[in-house]
Amino acid sequence: MVSNSLEIEYGVKSNYLPHILYENSVGKIHSVFQTSFNLVIQDKLVHVGSLGTPLSAFGINIPRNSLQQLLKRILAGNPVRYEDGKIMIDTTNLEVKIKLDKLSEVDLRLNRLPIDLVDVKNNEIFRLINDIDFIRDSGVIRSVKESTLLNECHAQSDDKKVIKASIEHFFGRGIGLTPSGDDFISGLIMVESSFSNDSYWKDELREFLSSHSTTDVSRNYYHCLLNGYASESFKYLLSNLSVRVERAKARRIVNNVTNYGHTSGIDTLFGIQVALKQLIQKNEFNNC
C-alpha cells in the first residue's frame, strides 16, 4: 500500500519533451544514479535531474529535496505512467506525480547562429578549448586508425567518404552511458547545426542510426541532435562562440562542459573543436 504521495509542480523542462510525451502511455524507471535518474516511455528516455544543474536535451529538473526523496525510493524497473500532462511513478511506499504543465519550459533548440570565422580564433572559449590536451584527456583517440581518420577529417572536411568512414568507425565506440565516439560525433553535429549551411554529418548519421545500435542514452541524444536540440550547457557554449566573451566567463562555460560525465564533456568538445577548425579552414581557403 502507498503510504504517502509527492506532487512536484516546480522546476524546468526541455522544449524537446513534446517529441517524447505526446500521448498517454506507460513505461518504467530506466536507470538510477547518485544525483539523477532516467525513465523510459515508449523506448524514449526522460532524464530527471536537479534544479541548478544543466538541463538535459530530453530532461526535466526538479527541486533538489524532491529529487533526493525520489532517489531514496525508486528502483530500476519501477512502473511509470504518463497521463494528461503528468508523469506518475509508483514505488512501494510513495506515489509521485510530476505536473509537467506547471514546469517552466527551456528552449534547447539549436538555432542557426551568426559567426565571424575570422574572429573565432580570438574567441576566449575557442582558445580554452584549444588548450585542452584531447589526445591525453579524451577517450576518442586510442589507435592509429583514429588518428588517421582525424587527419582526414581536417584535410577533407566535405568529403562524404571521409564523413561516412568516420561515422562508421566512431559510432558506439568506447564504454559508458555515452561512448566517447558518440560524444565526438555529437560535437561535430552541434557545430554543423549551429554554424554551417551543410548537413553532411547529420545526413550520414541519420542514415547510419536507422540500421545500427549504440547505448540507450547515446541513441536518445542523437535523436535530439537530429531534431535540432542539445543539452543546456552545450547550447550555451555554442551561442557564446559567436560573441565576445570575457575570459572568466569563458572559463566557467568551458568548465561546465568539461565537468559533464567522466569524459563525455571533453569528448564532445573534441568534436566541436574539429568541426570549428574545419569551418575556419574552409573559410580561409574560399577567401584565398
pLDDT at 1: 43
Q: What's the pLDDT tens digit per position in 150-201?
A: 988 877 767 889 999 999 999 999 988 899 999 999 999 999 999 988 899 9
Return left, alpha or beta for 284; rule: phi > 0 is left, psi -120 to 50 is alpha, else beta. alpha
What span, in angstroms and rounded, lies between the C-alpha atoms of 14 and 55?
Answer: 7
Below-50 pLDDT ranges, the chain: 1-2
* Residue-range domain boundaries for the chain: 4-106, 117-286
Name 258's Cβ contacts closer than 8 Å, sequence gap at least 6. 132, 265, 266, 269
- The amino acid present at 73, given as its one-letter code, is R
Closest listed residue to residue 187, CA positions, set 202, 176, 207, 169: 202
What span, in angstroms and rounded, lies between the C-alpha atoms of 182 and 218?
Answer: 7
pTM over 0.85: yes
pLDDT at 285: 58
Q: Which residues pair with 6 in a beta bridge?
A: 96
Calculated CA dihedral for residues 168, 172, 174, 179, nearest 10 degrees = 130
Is the Cβ–Cβ distance between 176 and 184 less than 8 Å? no
